[in-house]
């Protein structure tokens, strides 16, 4: 039986092979007599799962040795507070506001430090990314935050800014929740990256933080101990009980990612090639139609989250019902943006995008 294609923005589709493997392990992981959810996080079985997951992730994303990988909880929204608590030193942090998520990050950071908007595309309804040369960066800022893929508005940084070339020594913080592992990350431009797992890596409840070692140890005194990056790093993410099930599923996803190949490429490079092909297929169908529209500047369009509107919005309900009948699930747009949104993360195959494109064309033809 084939499963429907799931276009959810998150929690989102997980590779079927991963779900099957987890199902097979549910009652007895590798002859241990225990399911993963029932194991001590300090036992040898879970230590094996954790160590492998960390090593696989480090290898997949080519994370440099001077970065620590932290397995935390609280999601991207908690990181909006945890980052300023750890990095701001109570001073000014700059925000590049390119959509709903970076806007939210700036608002939350303002509770812990001075949060300045260095650039914003809100007046243009977040349809493009302001050119870095025009950003008004604060001299001596403690960090610069951006959201490298705006899940709601469908804009993506296809290149991270080189802050040094812009005259800033501040570390760059990226919220890469909704495109982590969909493409390579240029670590030479990053000080800290964070991502909730539930878009591209596994279940909700696990948050990944990649932090350059020199940024550890500067937390404000009010920082909760469990959210002090240095404490988490010094305890190998076991200061408190980590989200063991989430780490296990993410670990299976890392193994799945390592197995992927595409035209001579493997791992993340294979995923990136596939994601480019998927996004091109869908944008071409939208741009070539007279019913659907996506008005994001082409150079800033996301490969992962593709919002689109029906020019005749009275047909929205019929569109969604017809999609569901064909096994194309969760295409409704976010409530703050409206319309439709197709999230085509790593686990959604090209065949799923083709099925959506076929449906888009068939639905357009049935126009009364
Ligand atoms: C989903 C998402 C978040 C929020 O994650 P929570 O787990 O709900 O806290 C933050 N940032 C981005 C870019 C997201 O896509």
Segments making up each domain of the chain, as ranges: 17-257, 262-366
Q: Determine whether domain 262-366 maps to CATH 3.40.50.720.
A: no
Evaluate: CB of 177 within 6 angstroms of ligand 1: yes
Q: Where are the beta strands (DSSP E) in the chain?
A: 5-6, 67-72, 92-97, 114-120, 143-147, 149-150, 155-156, 172-175, 192-196, 207-212, 261-262, 265-266, 292-293, 305-310, 328-329, 340-343
pLDDT at position 2 is: 83
Active site residues: 101, 175, 199
Distance 196 CA to ligand 1 centre (A): 6
Q: Quick check: CB of 10 below 6 Å from ligand 1?
A: yes
CA 204 – ligand 1 centroid, Å: 10
Question: Are the C-beta atoms of residues 223 and 210 closer than 8 Å to each other?
Answer: no
Does residue 77 line the site of ligand 1, with CB under 6 A? yes
> Which pLDDT score, from 0 to 100, does residue 88 have?
98
pLDDT of residue 1: 58
Q: How confident is the model at residue 313, as a pLDDT? A: 95
Best mutation site among 8, 151, 174, 201 for ligand 1 pocket (most ligand atoms within 8 Å of CB):
151
What's the pLDDT at 367?
65
**Residue 272 pLDDT:** 98
CATH topology (fold) of 17-257: 3.40.640
Low-confidence ranges of the chain (pLDDT < 50): none
Ligand 1 center to residue 78 CA distance, Å? 9
198 Cα nearest atom in ligand 1 = 7
> Would you state the pLDDT for residue 90?
87
User: Can you tell me the distance from the alpha carbon of 91 to that of 94, in angstroms, rounded to the nearest whole number?
Assistant: 10
Whose Cα sits closest to atom 7 in ligand 1? 75
pLDDT value of position 368: 54
Whether ligand 1 lies within 6 angstroms of the CB of 318 is answered as no
Q: Is 100 in the pocket of ligand 1 (CB under 6 A)?
A: no
């Amino acid at each position: 039986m084939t499963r429907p294609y799931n276009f959810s923005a998150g929690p989102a589709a997980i590779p079927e092979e991963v779900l099957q493997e987890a199902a097979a392990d549910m009652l007895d992981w590798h002859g241990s007599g225990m399911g993963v959810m029932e194991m001590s996080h300090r036992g040898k079985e879970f230590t094996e799962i954790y160590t492998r997951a960390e090593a696989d992730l480090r290898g997949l994303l080519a994370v440099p040795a001077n970065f620590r990988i932290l397995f935390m909880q609280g999601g991207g929204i908690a990181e909006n507070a945890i980052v300023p608590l750890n990095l701001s030193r109570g001073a000014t942090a700059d925000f590049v506001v390119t959509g709903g998520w970076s806007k939210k990050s700036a608002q939350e950071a303002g509770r812990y430090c001075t949060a300045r908007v260095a650039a914003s595309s809100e007046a243009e309804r977040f349809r493009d990314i302001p050119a870095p040369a025009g950003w008004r960066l604060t001299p001596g800022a403690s960090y610069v935050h951006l959201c490298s893929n705006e899940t709601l508005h469908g804009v993506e940084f296809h290149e991270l800014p080189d802050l040094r070339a812009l005259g800033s020594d501040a570390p760059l913080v990226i919220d890469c929740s909704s495109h982590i592992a969909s493409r390579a990350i240029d670590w030479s431009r990053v000080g800290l990256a964070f991502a909730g797992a539930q878009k591209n890596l596994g279940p909700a409840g696990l948050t990944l933080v990649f932090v350059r070692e020199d940024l550890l140890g500067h937390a404000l005194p009010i920082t909760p101990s469990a959210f002090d990056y240095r404490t988490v790093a010094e305890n190998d993410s076991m200061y408190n009980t980590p989200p063991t099930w989430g780490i296990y599923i993410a670990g299976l996803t890392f193994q799945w990612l390592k197995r992927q190949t595409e035209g001579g490429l493997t791992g993340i490079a294979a995923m990136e090639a596939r994601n480019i092909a998927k996004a091109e297929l869908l944008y071409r169908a939208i741009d070539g139609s007279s019913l659907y529209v996506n008005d994001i500047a082409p150079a800033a369009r996301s490969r992962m989250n593709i919002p689109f509107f029906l020019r005749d919005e009275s047909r929205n309900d019929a569109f969604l019902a017809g999609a569901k009948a064909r096994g194309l699930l969760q295409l409704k747009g976010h409530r703050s943006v409206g319309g439709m949104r197709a999230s085509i993360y790593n686990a959604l195959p090209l065949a799923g995008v083709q099925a959506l494109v076929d449906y888009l064309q068939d639905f357009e033809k049935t126009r009364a």
